[in-house]
Amino acid sequence: MDLLRANPVADDLAARFAAAGHRLYLVGGSVRDALLGRLGTDLDFTTDARPEQVMALVKGWAEAVWDTGIAFGTVGAAKAGQTCEITTFRADAYDRVSRNPEVRFGDTIEGDLVRRDFTVNAMAVDLSTKELIDPHHGRAALENRVLDTPATPEESFADDPLRMLRAARFISQLCFVPAPRVVAAMTQMSAEITRITAERVQVEISKLLCGDDPRGGIELLVDTGLAAHVLPEVPALRLEIDEHHQHKDVYEHSLVVLEQAVDLEDDGPDLVLRLAALLHDIGKPDTRRHLPGGGVSFHHHEVVGAKMVRKRLRALRYSKEIIEDVARLVFLHLRFHGYGKGEWTDSAVRRYVTDAGDLLPRLHKLVRADCTTRNKRKANMLQRTYDGLEERIARIAAEEDLARVRPDIDGNEIMRLLGLPPGPLVGKAWRHLKELRLDQGPLDHDDAIAALYAWAAEQGLEVPAAGQGEPAEAEQVDDGGGDDQSR
């Protein structure tokens, strides 16, 4: 069996180890991916050689060598466009308080494999014989799309609770089904995830959301209780629905929106869009109000939801850029529903575009994904209406530079015309002219000057004769606005 299809880097490396009296195995995710026919350029190996021996063997052979993981028995090497991580057999012990093992080196491949997270990752290929070593039936699990653990899941998850999140991530990435005993252990031990740092949790959630079946991964987190510890706003969407207060199942709706957003992606997984799709309605539980006659309202849930998004994503240590982008999409996702049958003025369209800024393409996808009604006539009408909005945006953008809406007069000219020094008043005038630009579209220069003078008179400023004002300082000034696309 030749899983590597004559990979020269692996073969050459194995020959070097064999000549030194050591065994080298392709292991873990690399074997899994090879069996799935998608082996990449990142190769994982394990060996009986100790780290210092591995370093000696790869020096002079590899184009680059690094030892950042040597405390855990791992040496990295790059060769011919491939990245190799070579780890000495491990037989770790865990304190079961943190997830940090007491690193112990092992002596057998079988002992190394039993300590791995899942059976599909507990296979190895002896590179000297090309024999598949599969003591835990990982290949059968792979063929049957079942996720199970080599040891009992209770032992595995007690050693490293992060494996529970990894289980949900693999459900999403590989479209597997978790073994019943894995689900039972995750449910029983869900609180153990609090031993894991927020940064580690965030990485697994991001990978889960960017998998082929993010819904499956999220459902496993919610059903086992893990989400209550890492994304509590999601299970909170499962609002109780009684016979007198009917409304859409917000949890189910959010999962459908996530699926539909994935279908609208243009070029691979978009983490920001997927986070926004999953979390766009998390403000609903806190804003639900029962109305006379059995109705339900969620007024301003987009405002509340944007604040909740910021709080949760900060807790998960997401970057400031991701946090603000997701929060802004959540805040804006309802705006379209005020469009009606196209009643917005051009001014309202400009504001929609300006408020979305560079998130506009994602906002288009989120709004379209948010249509989950089973009424085909209503769904088609909503999609046609949004088609019309996009056409109006394109038309106005062709006539005006909507990607960079700025006033018709800049800060330096404002100072010259009004005889003002740099300061807050210049920024205030700039913002007034920008609002006018959004409301009326581009003004010719004389009309913009007249509008500036009219505003200045309302502020009680002395309005000089046109063109007579001089700037107090001949320098570029901060007009207080920048591109100001977030307004």
DSSP 286-318: HH-EEPTTS-EE-TTHHHHHHHHHHHHHHHTT-
Does the pTM surpass 0.85? The reply is no
Residues 284-308: tens digit of each pLDDT: 988 888 778 777 778 889 999 999 9
Residue with tokens 């050459």: 12
pLDDT (average), residues 28-35: 93
What average pLDDT does range 170-189 have in this prediction?
A: 97
- Please state, in angstroms and rounded to a whole number, the distance separating the CA atoms of residues 252 and 156: 31
- Answer whether residue 400 shows pLDDT above 80: no
Where would I find the beta strands (DSSP E) of 288-427? 289-290, 296-297
Q: Which two tokens stand for residue 5?
A: 């299809």
> What confidence tier does 474 reach under pLDDT thresholds 50, 70, 90?
very low
Residue 238 pLDDT exceeds 80: yes
Residue 473 has pLDDT above 60, yes or no: no
**Burial class for 91, CB neighbours closer than 10 Å (0-12, 13-18, 19+):** middle
- Calculate mean pLDDT across residues 416-438: 83
- Categorize the per-residue pLDDT at 477 as very low, low, confident or very high, splitting at 50, 70 and 90: very low
Closest alpha carbon to 312 in 236, 232, 366, 223:
232
Q: Which tokens belong to 125?
A: 């290929």
Radius of gyration of the chain from Cα atoms?
A: 30
Higher pLDDT, 332 or 445: 332
Residue with tokens 């991701």: 322
Q: Look-up: residue for tokens 């993981």? A: 69
Does residue 152 have a pLDDT over 80? yes
Cβ-count burial of 120 within 10 angstroms (0-12 exposed, 13-18 middle, 19+ buried)? buried
Distance CA 468, CA 481 (A): 25
Q: Which of 94, 39, 110, 49 is nearest to 75 (CA)?
A: 49
pLDDT score for 342: 77
Kindly report, residue by residue over 200-234, the tens digit of the pLDDT. Answer: 999 999 999 999 999 999 999 999 999 999 999 99
pLDDT score recorded for residue 100: 65
Residues 178-192 have a mean pLDDT of: 98
- Model confidence pLDDT, tens digit, residues 255-270: 999 999 999 999 899 9
Please, which pLDDT band fits residue 467 given cuts at 50, 70 and 90? very low
Give yes or no for residue 485 having a pLDDT over 80. no
DSSP per-residue letters across 449-484: HHHHHHHHHHTT---PPTTT---SS-S----S-TT-
Residue 58 has pLDDT above 60, yes or no: yes
Comparison of pLDDT for 428 and 246, the residue scoring more: 428
Q: What is the pLDDT of residue 6?
A: 61
Q: What pLDDT does residue 408 have? A: 63
Q: Among 210-219, 246-255, 419-428, where is mean pLDDT lowest?
A: 246-255
**Residue 150 in contact with residue 143, Cβ under 8 Å?**
no
Of all residues in the chain, the percent with pLDDT exceeding 70 is 87
pLDDT at position 196 is 95
Residue 44 three-state SS: strand
φ/ψ of 392, rounded to 5, equals: -65, -40
Higher-scoring residue by pLDDT: 447, 34 = 34
What is the structure's pLDDT at 486?
A: 36
Secondary structure of residue 86 in the 3-state scheme: strand
Q: What is the structure's pLDDT at 193?
A: 97
Question: Of 231-235, 333-337, 374-378, which gets the smallest average pLDDT?
Answer: 374-378
Higher-pLDDT residue of 478, 329: 329
Phi, then psi, of 334 in degrees rounded to 5: -95, -10
